A and B are shown apart, each in its own frame.
Chain A
Amino acid sequence: MNTKTKPTPSYLLASARQALGRFHTSPAFAGSMLFLAALVLNAALQGPASFFTVKNINTLFTKNTPFMLAAIAQSLLLMTGTMDISCGVQMALVNVVVIMTGQEWGIPFPLSCLLGIGAAILASLLCWVCCSVLRLPALLASYALTFVIKGVNVMIMSVPQGKVEKLYYKAYDSQIFGFIPASILGLALVLLIWAYVRRTRLGTHMYAVGGNQRDAFAAGISPMGVQLKAFLLKGFIIGAAGVCLTLMTAAGNPLQAEDYGIRSLSACIIGGLSFGGWGTVGCAISGAGFLVLIQNSVYYFFSMLVKMIPGFSVTSYYQNFASDLLILLGLLMTMVTARGQREALRRDIVRQLKTGIGLRDQAGTPPPDGAAAGAALAPPPGNGTGPENTDAPAFDTLSAPAVSTSAARTGLSDGAGVGAAHTKEGMDDER
């Protein structure tokens, strides 16, 4: 990886193989394999001829962009070592705000969308106060907030009502150049923003805080501040998801989308994210895609059964049961993805021991209490998650106190001074 040879064909081949290997050990590998399997299954059940049509793909994106966005938002929080199960009702909040401001105050649609996004950011801030400032257990605190936000939703809009102008929801449903679904724009926008943020200091800090808050703090990163930024970003994405939801349903309903919270969480887990410091947005997308396609397959499976067996009728109860069962089974799939992560970690360590490359950058064993809650997986020393081993991301060095002191001195972040002042305490505590 560190060799600097000229780009000859053999080198290109080798680097291609290396890229493949990197993908194989990357967190998103197991998730994307699951996704591909679901894609094949769905296409087979539906018939490839009717699956790979512009109309069908467009419908898939139109119906599922809100969910994908929710999964992306959730993945950002998971990377930062926290979570928010209330993002489903927050999307409903956006929907309610958008519809009601338009209906009651006559605000034009784009402006009320902005108001809706603002509402989502406010709700996220509330969640941040509970999770980071008050340091409550994130899962339970956000579950409690679900009740509160749902109540607010119903107070704003008591019964399902309202509508979106035809111009807007037609635009959401249309295709650019006749084949690109317009709904993909929201997804692309969010991914672009994340791609930028990932390359800034904040991106690295998010992984560092997710990996181990204390170590991050000892290195001069303020966990609360990083989580604040993550929650703000998540609020914005949930706002976008809520706007997409509004455009999709073209109506207001205060009690919809509640299950998006747990579904987005399970999508992330299926995709291979664990709690804190591990995983990429790609995990969330492939996990979400897996869930979507599997649920689609269930629908086609049942309609196939109805066609094949005369007198067989399906109620929606069966479909709900099957899709909930599949969410559970997908969660159990973590056994597979977690094994992939473990293997990636082991292979990386073995490679470094054998070659000696990158030992200087790596900090030996990962922190023991890295991801106690999840599949017990600590952040691995710089494989697919980081850009390259050479520009050693801060979190690789964090578990060695001596290194973290120097990191703090060299001004790793804005709070470097504070960090250096506190590093000694952190070190004493660790011993």
Chain B
Amino acid sequence: MKDNLTPLMRAKVFVKESPARMAFIIAILLYVATVAVSPTSLNANAIGSIIMMTLLLSFASAGQTIVLIGGGMDFSVGAVMSSAAILATTIMNHRDGYFLPLLISALAMGAFVGLCNGVCAVKIGLPPMIVTLAISNVVTRMQYVLTQGSPLGYVSDAFFRSVTTRLFGVQFLPSIILYAFIVFPLVFFLLNRSRFGKQVYLIGNNPLAARLDGIEVSRVQILTYVFSGMFSAFAGILGAAYMQSVRCQTFDEYAYNSLIAVIIGGTALSGGIGTYTGSIAGSLVMVVLSNLLTAMQLSPTKRNVVLGVLMVLLLVLYNREKNVRQ
């Protein structure tokens, strides 16, 4: 059937059908452009840091992917990450041996914020974007109130090394990859192999049908927000380990970036469609793009303009609503 398509139509089909592959291709093209702009950026160390940032963003967008597939949206990813990072530096305070308490408290904090998001968005029926934005504002203000604007402390050396050491002495293998060996299978299991994942896809596709099938729609949806909060918190403490010391709002841009990454990966805003592979590819695109913009020495303002236009373009590609005539 595909034989009688024009090349343009075939390209369109390709874009629509396999956003993950498309995203990988875009990422490679962007990287080639970066190397063309500044040839010095082609070295093992730079590739290593690209991998590092990509993994960090893909951890943050894991929760966002689950929430979007379930038909919601989570804008508090950035605020939760920043809060978790502040927790990390405050609890560790340059001492070893506090990883477990930190992990538990950060995950609990993330789960709590996620629960608030879920209850407000699902039970009360407010638009998810607005309510999560409002909650993330509150969480951000909370950081300022609790730290009086200047968070103290550093992460422990062991934790810092567990994220940034290059494996086997190879420059482009940062040890954050080890964390990916835990997170990626977990997300894949959650989305593709568990009952929860199937329910999320079904709810995203058609909440009414899901309810008639006997799924407790609101409970599953709230659970997606809780997972999102926990993944964000985990990404936040890893981010703290990478940065060593943090300020308030350090990771706030991850809210927007993770959303764009997930959309680049082909997850539909209307829910029910999407893969985590796509989100990882989308994260790669975002990181490479930001590298390119840095290489071109654009000011932060122009970067923002570019990101805004990119978002509009992506929405045009993947998320147009149906015509009223159809």
| A interface residues with partner B (beta carbon < 8 Å) | 130, 134-137, 139-141, 143-148, 150-152, 154-155, 213-214, 217, 223, 262, 265-266, 269, 275, 315, 317-318, 320-321, 324-325, 327-328, 331-332, 334-335, 338, 373-376, 422, 425, 429
Contact = CB atoms under 8 A, between A and B. Distances in A.
A262 B130 contact: yes
A217 B320 CA distance: 18
Nearest to A261: B133
A137 B129 CA distance: 11
B319 interface: yes
A429 B325 CA distance: 9
The 7 closest A-B pairs by CB, nearest first: A147-B308, A151-B305, A144-B311, A321-B141, A148-B308, A317-B144, A136-B315
Interface stretch (B80-88, B93-101, B118-126): B118-126
B324 interface: yes
Given A223-B324, A269-B126, A321-B144, A134 B269 contact: no
A39 B226 CA distance: 37
Contacts of B301: 150-151, 154-155
B104 interface: no
Contacts of A147: 304-305, 307-308, 311
Contacts of A137: 269, 315, 319, 321
A260 B314 CA distance: 26
7 contacts: A134-B315, A134-B320, A135-B322, A137-B269, A150-B301, A315-B148, A321-B141
B134 A324 contact: yes
B131 to A, nearest CB: 6
A376 B138 contact: no
Contact of B126 (A213, A214, A331): A331
Contacts of B149: 315, 317
Contacts of A334: 124-126
B206 interface: no
Interface residues of B, number: 40
B126 A139 contact: no
B128 to A, nearest CB: 9
Contacts of A376: 125
B124 A141 contact: no
Contacts of B309: 144, 148
A162 B255 CA distance: 34
A413 to B, nearest CB: 15
A65 to B, nearest CB: 24
A376 B315 CA distance: 25
B30 interface: no
Contact of B133 (A223, A262, A315): A262
A356 to B, nearest CB: 33
Given A144-B315, A321-B138, A328-B135, A374 B304 contact: no
Contacts of A332: 120, 124, 126
A48 to B, nearest CB: 31
Contacts of B323: 135
A266 B144 contact: no
Interface string B26-61: 000000000000000000000000000000000000
Q: Which of A151, A262, A334, A374 has the most CB of B within 10 A?
A: A151
A135 B127 CA distance: 18
Contacts of A315: 148-149
B137 A324 contact: yes
A135 B312 contact: no
Contacts of A375: 125-126
Given A144-B307, A318-B145, 14 more contacts: A130-B315, A144-B315, A145-B308, A147-B304, A148-B304, A148-B312, A151-B305, A154-B301, A214-B324, A262-B137, A317-B148, A321-B141, A321-B145, A328-B135
Contacts of A223: 324
A319 to B, nearest CB: 9
Contacts of A422: 325
B316 interface: yes
A151 B126 CA distance: 30
Contacts of A266: 130, 134
Q: Which of A147, A148, A321, A332 has the most CB of B within 10 A?
A: A147
B193 interface: no
B129 A140 contact: yes
B125 A262 contact: no
